[in-house]
Amino acid sequence: MKCNTLINIIGKYNHYSILAALNLKPNQIVFIRMEEDVESCNNAKACIGQKLPQAKLIEYVINEQSPAAIAQIIQQYNSQDTYLNLSGGSKLMGLLTFQAAQGSNVILIYVDNDHEKILILNEKLQELMPINVELTVEDIVCSAGAEILKHSTDIFDKQEFRELVEFMIKNYDMWKYAKGILRNTRIVKQFIMQPLFIEIMTDRLSYIQIKAVEKFLKELLQKQLIIDYKFYFDHIEFTLSSKEAKSFIMSAGSWLESLTYRCIKEIKEVNDAISGMLFVWDEEVDVHNELDVVAAVDSHLVCISCKDTEKYDVEDLNELEVYAEHLGGRKVTKILVSTQTPERGEMTFQRAEEMGIHIVLFNGDVSSFKDKLHRILMD
Cα 260 to Cα 362: distance, rounded to the nearest angstrom: 10
**Is residue 43 within 8 Å of 68, Cβ to Cβ?**
no
Give the model's confidence band at 288: pLDDT under 50 very low, under 70 low, under 90 confident, else very high.
confident
Do the beta carbons of residue 8 and residue 37 sit within 8 Å? Answer: no
pLDDT bin (cut points 50, 70, 90) of residue 302 is very high
The size of the chain, in residues, is 379
Give the pLDDT score at 214.
96
What are the φ and ψ backbone dihedral angles of 28, each rounded to 5 degrees?
-140, 145
pTM: 0.90
pLDDT on residue 286: 63
> Across all residues in the chain, what is the average pLDDT?
92
Q: Is the pLDDT of residue 1 over 60?
A: no
Spacing of C-alpha 103 from chain mean position: 42
The segment with the largest mean pLDDT, out of 100-114, 130-144, 287-301, 357-371, is 357-371
End-to-end CA distance of the chain: 35
- In the chain the domains, ranked by start, together with CATH numbers, are 5-133 (3.40.50.10770), 149-155+253-378 (3.40.1350.10), 156-250 (3.30.200)
191, burial (CB in 10 Å: exposed 0-12, middle 13-18, buried 19+): exposed
CA distance to 147, 255, 256, 291, per residue, from 278 (Å): 9, 18, 17, 7
Give the tens place of pLDDT for each residue, 182-193. 999 999 999 999
Sign of the CA dihedral with 24 first, then 324, 267, and 153 last:
positive
Rounded Cα gap, residues 345 and 338, in angstroms: 13
Angle, helices 346-354 vs 314-328, to 10°: value is 20
* 268 DSSP β-pair partners: none
| % of the chain surpassing 70 pLDDT | 98
**pLDDT above 70: residue 209:** yes
- Tens of pLDDT, residue by residue over 31-82, are 999 999 999 999 999 999 999 999 999 999 999 889 999 999 999 999 889 9
Express each pLDDT in 241-258 by its tens digit: 999 999 999 998 999 999
Report the half-sphere exposure of 295 (CA within 13 A, side-chain side): 27
Lowest mean pLDDT among 172-176, 277-281, 294-298, 328-332: 328-332
The type of residue at 376 is I
What pLDDT score does 283 carry?
Answer: 61
Label the pairing between strands 82-85 and 5-9: parallel
Asked if 269 and 377 touch (Cβ cutoff 8 Å), the reply is yes
Could you report the per-residue pLDDT of 139-188, keeping only the tens digit for each? 999 888 888 999 999 999 999 999 999 999 999 999 999 999 999 999 99
For the chain, give the percent of residues with pLDDT over 90: 80
At residue 40's C-alpha, the angle toward residues 34 and 41, to 5°, is 70
pLDDT-derived band at 2 (thresholds 50, 70, 90) equals low
Confidence of residue 379 (pLDDT cuts 50, 70, 90): confident
Distance CA 122, CA 373 (A): 38
| Band of pLDDT at residue 278, cut at 50, 70 and 90 | very high
Residue 365 clears pLDDT 80, i.e. is over it: yes
Does residue 353 sit in helix, strand or coil? helix
Average pLDDT over residues 2-25: 91
Q: Write down the pLDDT at residue 282.
A: 66
- Of the CA atoms within 13 Å of residue 137, those in its CB half-sphere come to 26
Of the pLDDT bands very low, low, confident and very high (cuts 50, 70, 90), residue 227 is very high
d(CA 137, CA 292): 13
213 versus 147: which is more confidently predicted? 213
Mean pLDDT value across residues 345-372: 95
Distance between CA atoms of 325 and 19, rounded to whole angstroms?
19
Q: Going edge to edge, which strands form the sheet with 28-34?
A: 56-62, 28-34, 5-9, 82-85, 107-112, 117-120, 126-130
